[in-house]
Amino acid sequence: MATISNQLKDRTWWCLLFTLVLGLLLPIAAISAKEPSLKELRDQWTKRMEASSLPDSSFEKYELKISTMAELLARTDSKHLEIYVREAAAAKPLERDIKYAVLPKVLEESQEFARAELLRKCLEESHDAPPTLLLLTTAPPDSVRYRQVEHFLALKMGPDGMELLLQAAKQTQDELAKERLFAMLRRAFPGFREKHSDNVRFLEACSQWLTENKSKVKIADVYYPMNPITSGKRPIAKETTPDCTLFVSLQATEHSGP
């Protein structure tokens, strides 16, 4: 009887151990099984856009493009972000046979919207800087929800967003990423770009300005977009300076009247 009792106890313990291990493995297997690749998400996005009867140039269609990509990415775990970022980084610019014209490189539309929503997701759902820095360094979007990327970063992170952008510009080895990052910085710091054609000196000037002023500024109420191919000269908002048009002096705004 004692032997039978011991055997039952052993079986009970083995059953409990098996149940525990199974309970740990099943969620992991489920997560792995349900996480589609970024390519699969983009394909789903493309099919929905093709099925839509909205005019492609309409505001409603653009809104649908944003909301659909956001919906598809919302289903995925935030821990999967880095995998998607690395997949986005592998995308190559589209070939455009346009002679005698200097145009920014572009990606397939689904790639652009995926990158934009990945950046938003990184900033809003990931509390770690590495995924955001990796995205900016390897696969920066062209814009995010009607905003220039530098403006979006400043709204979410303040001057820290510009420091992240500068860090990405210093680290990037990707040709398209470099082109886009310097276009962002040229828009944000047009005065410094006009003074420094050399990239290293330009980044140093921007970094120095941020170090000296980050605690004394806030984001400007108005930020004017501009063509990234132009020289950097454009209208600036009240109380901003030609050196940095993203931020205004706290002291200036405190003393300015209506």
The tokens of 52 are what?
């839509």
Q: What are the pLDDT tens digits along the chain (258 aa)?
A: 545 455 545 556 555 555 555 555 544 444 445 678 899 999 999 999 999 999 988 999 999 999 999 999 987 777 788 889 889 888 777 665 555 445 566 678 899 999 999 999 888 876 567 789 999 999 999 889 888 999 999 999 999 999 999 999 999 999 889 999 999 999 899 888 888 989 999 999 999 999 998 888 888 887 865 544 444 445 445 555 668 888 888 765 454 444
The tokens of 47 are what?
């099919």
Residue 52 inside a domain? The answer is: yes
Q: How far apart are CA 165 and CA 137, in angstroms?
A: 9
Domain count, the chain: 2
Q: Are 110 and 159 part of one and the same domain?
A: no
pLDDT value at residue 82 = 85
Residue 20 inside a domain? The answer is: no
Q: Are 115 and 178 part of one and the same domain?
A: no
List of residues 6+ apart from 49 with CB closer than 8 A: 61, 64, 65, 68
Q: How far apart are CA 56 and CA 146, in angstroms?
A: 16
Q: Are 255 and 153 part of one and the same domain?
A: yes
Residue 113 inside a domain? The answer is: yes
The tokens of 121 are what?
């997701």
- Out of 70, 98, 127, a domain closes at 127
User: Hey, is 23 helix, strand or coil?
Assistant: helix
Q: Are 153 and 111 part of one and the same domain?
A: no
Q: What is the pTM for the complete model shown?
A: 0.76
Q: How far apart are CA 43 and CA 199, in angstroms?
A: 38
- pLDDT tens digits, residue range 198-247? 999 999 999 999 999 888 888 888 786 554 444 444 544 555 566 888 88
Q: Are 65 and 157 part of one and the same domain?
A: no
Q: Which of 222, 223, 215 is nearest to 251 (CA)?
A: 215
Residue 29 inside a domain? The answer is: no
Q: Are 183 and 234 part of one and the same domain?
A: yes
Residue 73 inside a domain? The answer is: yes
Question: What domain range includes position 193?
Answer: 147-258
